[in-house]
């Protein structure tokens, strides 16, 4: 995995503060600053001397003390540079929040077929939807599974969860993992209580999740997982506070069953359609994108797990101001498939059934062709390819769920586009001067800490050693905390950990999404014949700009 990690080398010389680093720029912090390097030994007179019994001072002790003094001076100079945002940060290029970011090269002129999921891909929902799912699920837990009635007092907290978390069914912890499968030290919760590093080590022995422990983890990857993650944490906390014994696995199973029930029973669908103004967001740009594809001769299909009546009601509402005729949205698609049962769709052999819209029934005749203006239920990838004869590389599929929407198509040879709505906001934050300022501060402290640990031996610790180490760690912690709270006070950014490493969610995006963007219609910003290339300086996640510590050197 590490072999694919090519980071921007910015382990530079900060001349005016006395930084002098030589060696390999690889892996030490947000910007991939120096993990291993040779530190230049200063020739200035040592200010700390530790004589032996005969009054002599060992040369290596003088060198160590001289280095501590030098790093101290560099740190004090760096702190002066922190008083003002450098002009260099303002001049750095900014990422387009609506851009398309490329993990694997993609020629749009070779793509002839565009497929779409519905929920959170074609359909945009307001934040009210998470409250609806949360409330319906907690009521089901109380009414059907006999959870304590006090659970009805729970309220969804939008500030708590992010996408891409994991729940440990064996230990009951809600975790954020990094790219390499290690627990984020500031992103592990038991209920609503954040665990300390010591508690994490006591529970797991190490921050790295091994294969045996990984079997107990379930990923919460789609946009519906926000309400699920919050409800799990609230129930665990409630049981802890009430001093009730519980099995963490049962809580997950019950909450997951409740979440599935509100979807499969139609409760959430009916709730949305009963008040579409509250839950759905109208989007004329989506219609423009779909029409553009049709005008260019592309084939379009809709493949969703939702029932047809729900999709139809939502599409009519979202596009009613733009298309004139309330039935014309289906004319945009060559094939419409509902109740597809993804991800099972990709490896099962279920037959397609023709759906009668008027009678709400399924036909018994065999489906050998997809006819215009028809709607189909169920089916499987094998039959889909046999009927359409669409070849893998000429098909691109858009979806928001990494496992249900993207993993299957990716393995089938389709190109994939991940739709990640929170991406737009996170890029806006990363483009901001305040975020870049604290990120550059973080880099400087990381470089100093790297130099400090590479030079000073633990066996020869003293007051000057402890004082400087504590100050560096405190400054780094403050910078990390500020950056984290810009995104989410509990778990930070979706794509990054607090140390600047890519998250486990970013790993799955890298693995299963050829490209990713915040909305499908962002493709309107590009030519339909564009060649989308992986950036030459790729860092795993193309949209993430890693601000170098050298940005401060013009200020010193």
Please indicate, yes or no, if residue 360 is contained in any of the structural domains. Answer: yes
Please indicate, yes or no, if residue 392 is contained in any of the structural domains. Answer: yes
- Cα-based distances in Å from 415 to 262, 341, 393, 398, 531: 32, 20, 6, 9, 14
Q: How far apart are CA 186 and CA 428, in angstroms?
A: 23
Asked whether residue 353 falls in the same domain as residue 255, the answer is no
How many distinct structural domains can be found in the chain? 2
Please indicate, yes or no, if residue 323 is contained in any of the structural domains. Answer: yes
Asked whether residue 236 falls in the same domain as residue 372, the answer is no
Asked whether residue 415 falls in the same domain as residue 302, the answer is yes
Q: Give the pLDDT score at 554.
A: 43
Find out whether 109 is annotated in a ligand binding site. no
Please indicate, yes or no, if residue 384 is contained in any of the structural domains. Answer: yes
Q: Give the pLDDT score at 11.
A: 33
CB 102 within 8 Å of CB 515: yes
Please indicate, yes or no, if residue 117 is contained in any of the structural domains. Answer: yes
CB 16 within 8 Å of CB 556: yes
Q: How many CB atoms lie within 10 A of CB 374?
A: 16
Find out whether 186 is annotated in a ligand binding site. no
Find out whether 275 is annotated in a ligand binding site. no
Collapsed DSSP state (helix, strand, coil) of residue 502: strand
- Cα-based distances in Å from 176 to 222, 300, 364, 401: 15, 36, 47, 17
Asked whether residue 162 falls in the same domain as residue 118, the answer is no
Asked whether residue 141 falls in the same domain as residue 120, the answer is no
Q: Give the pLDDT score at 113.
A: 97
Please indicate, yes or no, if residue 341 is contained in any of the structural domains. Answer: yes
Chosen domain end from 395, 420, 445: 420
**Structural tokens at position 278:** 């509250």
Burial class (CB in 10 A: 0-12, 13-18, 19+), 113: buried
Please indicate, yes or no, if residue 178 is contained in any of the structural domains. Answer: yes
Asked whether residue 214 falls in the same domain as residue 159, the answer is yes
Q: What residues act catalytically?
A: 117, 119
Chosen domain end from 252, 274, 296: 274
Asked whether residue 356 falls in the same domain as residue 266, the answer is no
Residues lower than pLDDT 50 in the chain: 1-51, 57, 326, 554-556
Q: Is the peptide bond before 2 cis (omega within 30 degrees of 0)?
A: no
Asked whether residue 252 falls in the same domain as residue 287, the answer is no
Please indicate, yes or no, if residue 544 is contained in any of the structural domains. Answer: no
Q: How many CB atoms lie within 10 A of CB 230?
A: 24
Give me the count of residues in the chain: 556
Asked whether residue 139 falls in the same domain as residue 253, the answer is yes
What is the domain range of residue 226?
128-274
Chosen domain end from 394, 420, 446: 420
Task: Write the CATH number for 363.
Answer: 3.40.50.1000
Q: Give the pLDDT score at 35.
A: 34
The full DSSP string for 320-356 is: HHHHSSTTGGGGG-SEEEES--TTGGGT--PPEEEEE
- pTM for the full model? 0.82
Asked whether residue 297 falls in the same domain as residue 261, the answer is no
Q: Alpha helix (H) ranges present in 363-412? A: 381-388, 408-412
Asked whether residue 261 falls in the same domain as residue 140, the answer is yes
Asked whether residue 330 falls in the same domain as residue 267, the answer is no
Q: What is the pLDDT of residues 301-323, one digit of tens each?
A: 999 999 999 999 999 998 877 76
């Amino acid at each position: 995995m590490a072999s694919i990690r090519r980071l921007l080398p910015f382990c530079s010389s900060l001349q005016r503060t006395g930084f002098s680093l030589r060696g390999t720029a690889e892996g030490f912090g947000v910007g991939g600053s120096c993990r291993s390097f040779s530190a230049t030994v200063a020739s200035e007179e040592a200010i700390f001397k530790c004589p032996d019994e005969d009054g002599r001072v060992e040369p290596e002790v003088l060198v160590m003390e001289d280095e501590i003094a030098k790093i101290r001076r560099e740190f004090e100079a760096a702190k002066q540079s922190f008083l003002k945002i450098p002009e260099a940060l303002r001049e750095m290029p900014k990422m387009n929040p609506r851009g398309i970011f490329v993990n694997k090269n993609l020629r749009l002129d070779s793509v002839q077929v565009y497929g779409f999921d519905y929920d959170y891909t074609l359909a945009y929902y307001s934040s009210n939807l998470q409250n609806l799912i949360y409330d319906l699920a907690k009521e089901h837990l109380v009414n059907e599974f006999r959870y304590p009635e006090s659970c009805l007092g729970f309220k969804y907290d939008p500030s708590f969860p992010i996408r891409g978390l994991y729940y440990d069914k064996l230990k009951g912890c809600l975790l954020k993992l990094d790219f390499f499968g290690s627990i984020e030290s500031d992103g592990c919760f038991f209920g609503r209580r954040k665990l300390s590093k010591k508690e994490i080590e006591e529970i797991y022995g190490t921050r790295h999740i091994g294969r045996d422990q990984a079997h107990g983890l379930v990923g919460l990857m789609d946009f519906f997982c926000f309400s699920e993650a919050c409800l799990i944490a609230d129930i665990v906390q409630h049981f802890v506070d009430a001093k009730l014994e519980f099995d963490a696995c049962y809580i997950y199973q019950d909450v997951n069953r409740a979440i599935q029930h509100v979807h499969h029973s139609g409760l959430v669908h009916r709730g949305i359609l009963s008040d579409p103004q509250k839950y759905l967001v109208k989007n004329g740009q989506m219609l423009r994108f779909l029409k553009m594809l049709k005008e260019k001769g592309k084939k379009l299909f809709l493949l969703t797990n939702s029932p047809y009546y729900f999709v139809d009601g939502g599409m009519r509402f979202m596009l009613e101001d733009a298309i004139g005729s309330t039935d014309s949205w289906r004319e945009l698609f060559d094939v419409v498939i509902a109740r597809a049962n993804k991800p099972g769709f990709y490896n099962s052999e279920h037959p397609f059934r023709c759906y009668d819209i008027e009678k709400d029934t399924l036909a018994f005749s065999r489906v050998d062709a997809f006819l215009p203006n028809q709607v189909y239920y169920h089916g499987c990838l094998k039959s889909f390819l046999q009927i359409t004869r669409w070849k893998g590389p000429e098909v691109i599929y858009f979806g928001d769920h990494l496992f249900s929407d993207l993993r299957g198509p990716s393995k089938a040879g389709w190109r994939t586009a991940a739709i990640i709505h929170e991406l737009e906001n996170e890029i806006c934050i990363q483009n901001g001067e305040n975020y870049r300022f604290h990120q550059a501060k973080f880099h400087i402290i990381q470089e100093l800490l790297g130099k400090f640990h590479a030079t000073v031996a633990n066996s020869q610790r003293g007051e000057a050693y402890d004082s400087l180490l504590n100050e560096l760690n405190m400054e780094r912690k403050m910078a990390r905390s500020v950056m984290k709270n810009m995104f989410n006070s509990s778990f930070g950014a979706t794509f990054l950990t607090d140390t600047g490493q890519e998250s486990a969610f970013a790993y799955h995006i890298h693995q299963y999404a050829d490209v990713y963007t915040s909305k499908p219609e962002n493709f309107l910003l590009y030519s339909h014949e564009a060649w989308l290339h992986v950036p030459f300086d790729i860092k795993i996640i193309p949209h993430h700009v890693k601000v170098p510590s050298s940005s401060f050197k013009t200020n010193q």
